[in-house]
Structures are given as structure tokens and as C-alpha cells.
Chains A and B, each alone.
Chain A
Amino acid sequence: MTAWLPALVVCLVSAPAFAGEIRGTVTVGGKSIGQGIAIEAHCGEQVHSTSTDKYGSYRVFLPENGTCQLQVLYQNQTPSREVISFDDSTRYDLALEKDGEQYVVRRK
């Protein structure tokens, strides 16, 4: 009994708990941003990373509910916008637009 109890506690503590999924597509000039563009969700101290697939779509799982900053790492710039994570999956289709020299992220 005493032997497996600490193991169970370790398992429970380390088991991944996912609050919600943020997913969608990223486009530039109305076209897919392409494959392999890094996306980061900054939730407090935590950073959750993913990258786009051939259609420019992404999905990232966030362990907590609440507000995070979603960053697109594109052409040495990091345009970002606020996203809210819920228990369920939320779709954020993003469009990168140029504002002067800087890219900004808008939700489609």
C-alpha cells in the first residue's frame, strides 16, 4: 500500500491536464502563411509552442483557462494578439496585415 501510494501521487501530479485548445489558420494577404511558421501561446510564465501545417493551420493546447497572448513568429517579427482559452476548443483564424513596416494580427 505504502509502496504504490507515492507513485500514484507522482502520476496524478504529472498527468497532463488540458483546459482547452486554441486552433485556426493563419493567412497573409488572403493566402495561407505556409508550413512551419512557429506559433507561441504565452500564458503567464508558461509558453506553449506549435507550428503551422501546409494549410497554415495550427492547434495548441493550453493547460489553464484564461487569457494568453498568441504570437506568430514571422519574418523576424512577433505580431501577437490576446486569445481566451476555455474548457472547450476555440477557433482563432488569424490574418497577418502590414501596418507600415510592422505586421499586426487580426482575427478573421
Chain B
Amino acid sequence: MADKPRDGWEKAAMILQSIGGFATASVVALLGIAGSHLLEKRQTIDTNVRLYTELMSKREESESALRKDMFTSIIDTFLKPQAPSLDVRILNLELLAYNFHESLNLKPLFFNVDRQIRQTTDARKSEYRERLNRVAREITRKQMVILEGAGMKYDSKFKLANAPTSKKGLPVELEEAELSLEGIMREFRMYVMEVNPETQELRLRLEVITPEQSSSSFVINDVEFWVGFYDFPMIDHTRLSHDQRVAVTLSNFQEGYANITLVYFPGSYAGLKEKPYYQELVKELVKKAGDSR
């Protein structure tokens, strides 16, 4: 029986079969190559991230150790019974302030040195005062630049002669400010309760009015505090709800006027000394997770 010649369909089937086999093998090979390449890439990224994290944490560790040593040696000079000269004390305070102003409340040290300058009979008294004031103002300015960038500010000026110099005077009401941050609108009212011209400080009452969900109810919180040139806003501020902060700084106290600035900023910009409220953190995380869904 003679072989029946193959028709076109059979020939095509044979060719397609062999092409199919070849194509399958090629796809499997390609997938393997691509898979291994992807894995290799991911491994490289993981390794780089791990290396970067290790480097960063080592750097952080060594920086912390350096800062700790520096801090201990500077602070010791203030606590030693035999105090160094005023010049050295101011130098140490400058070092502390420029390096640790975001982590420590240096107001007590500033006050201490300020008191010593007042009492000294040294011929360089005015130079010391200028140095102390310069460092305090520079730190305030540096912190304000950061906080103003992240939050909202309000400047106010008032005549010192109008403000009481004792508890018994009539408080001066400053113009109110309505500021909005992260969708929360608050009204801030400031009253100058007392002025101390000698220490160049003001006793302020700050009222913070926060509307609640229904428009007809409000929460009014008030706080009274002294503010002077040694109050740094990142460290010395008032905590508000929704992890927000408000601080008041004194920028000028001369020629019969005082300039104050209120800054309303997110809590994440507060100084390092602050202990977080874990309940608030958890709430915020839960809210963020809910929002992202």
C-alpha cells in the first residue's frame, strides 16, 4: 500500500507542533531568566537597604555617643561647685544652645547666666549680655523658620505703657487670630496680664477656642505663662488636641513696644524632649489606616 501523500493540513500541523514545542521551551526559559533577574534585583535592593540602615544606625549611634560626651562635659561645668569664669560659662551655654536647642529646655541655664551677668561688676558686662541675647534670638529665629514653614503664625505688637506691671492692672487684650492647620480652625486670643520691664518678660493668657463638630459648641482652653527671650518655641509650647502645638515668642522689647509671635504647628515638629502620648499616636495610626482604605 503506497503511502498516501500528506496534504497541506498535515504538513502545517507538523510544523506548528514543532514551533509550539520550541515556543513553550523558549517562554519557560525566558520566564526563568526574568524571574532570577527579578530575584537578584530584589536581593540587591534588600542588601543595599540593610547596608544603608546599618550604616545609618551606626552613624546615629556614634553621633549620639559624641553628643552625650559633649553634653556631659558641658553640663558638668555648670554643676561644679567651683564655677568657671562668666566668659567660659557663656561659651558653654552657647555650645549647649547651638547643639542641643531642639532637645533641651535651656531656659533655666539662660536665666542663671543672665542673673550672674546682672550681678557682675566685670567691665565686659555689656558684651556678655549681648552674647547671651544674640544666641537666644538666633535659636528662636532658627526654630521659628522651621515652625512657620510647617504651621501658621500671627504677629502682634502692643504698647508696653498700656500693660500692667503688677497683678492688679487691667489686662491688655490683643487682636484675636483665626488660624487653620491640617483642616482644624482655631481662634487664639491673647491677653497681656503683666509686664516685667526688668527681666523683659510678659505674663500672657492664651485662650484657644476650638469649634466642635456641631457648629454651636466650642471648647475654650486657656493657659497662663511668662514669655521672654529665653523661651524657645520647639521646646516651650502648649499641647493642643489632634497632636498640634501652639507657642508664643517674644521678638522685641524696646522703645516702648513689645512684639510677640504666635505660632501654631504640628506636633511632629516639637522638640525631642517631648514624650509622645501613645494613645494619641495609636488613634492617629488607626485614622490614617482608615483613610487609606
Shortest CB-to-CB span from A43 to chain B, Å, is 16
Partner of B170, one of A18, A87, A88: A18
Q: Is there contact, CB below 8 Å, between B170 and A32?
A: no
Partner of B217, one of A19, A30, A61, A89: A30
Q: Is there contact, CB below 8 Å, between B167 and A31?
A: no
Q: Is there contact, CB below 8 Å, between A89 and B168?
A: no
In the bound complex, CA of A55 to CA of B218 (Å): 7
Asked if A40 is at the interface (CB within 8 A of a chain B CB), the reply is no
| Residue count of chain B within 8 Å CB distance of chain A | 16
Closest to B164 in A: A18
Q: Is there contact, CB below 8 Å, between B168 and A31?
A: no
By size class, the interface of chain A is 10 to 19
In the bound complex, CA of A22 to CA of B207 (Å): 15
Shortest CB-to-CB span from A49 to chain B, Å, is 16
In the bound complex, CA of A5 to CA of B216 (Å): 55
Partner of A31, one of B169, B217, B220, B224: B217
Q: Is there contact, CB below 8 Å, between B171 and A21?
A: yes
Shortest CB-to-CB span from A98 to chain B, Å, is 18
* Chain A 49-91 residues near chain B, CB threshold 8 A: 55-57, 61, 87-89, 91
Asked if B172 is at the interface (CB within 8 A of a chain A CB), the reply is no
Asked if A6 is at the interface (CB within 8 A of a chain B CB), the reply is no
Knowing A18-B169, A87-B167, say if A31 contacts B222 (CB, 8 Å): no
* Chain B 195-220 residues near chain A, CB threshold 8 A: 205, 207, 209, 214, 216-218, 220
Which residues from chain A contact B193 at a C-beta distance below 8 Å?
Answer: 89
In the bound complex, CA of A87 to CA of B203 (Å): 15
Q: Is there contact, CB below 8 Å, between A32 and B169?
A: no
In the bound complex, CA of A21 to CA of B222 (Å): 14
Q: A17-B168, A18-B168 are in contact. List 11 more A-B contacts (CB 8 A).
A: A19-B168, A21-B171, A25-B220, A31-B214, A32-B216, A32-B217, A32-B218, A55-B209, A57-B220, A88-B167, A89-B193
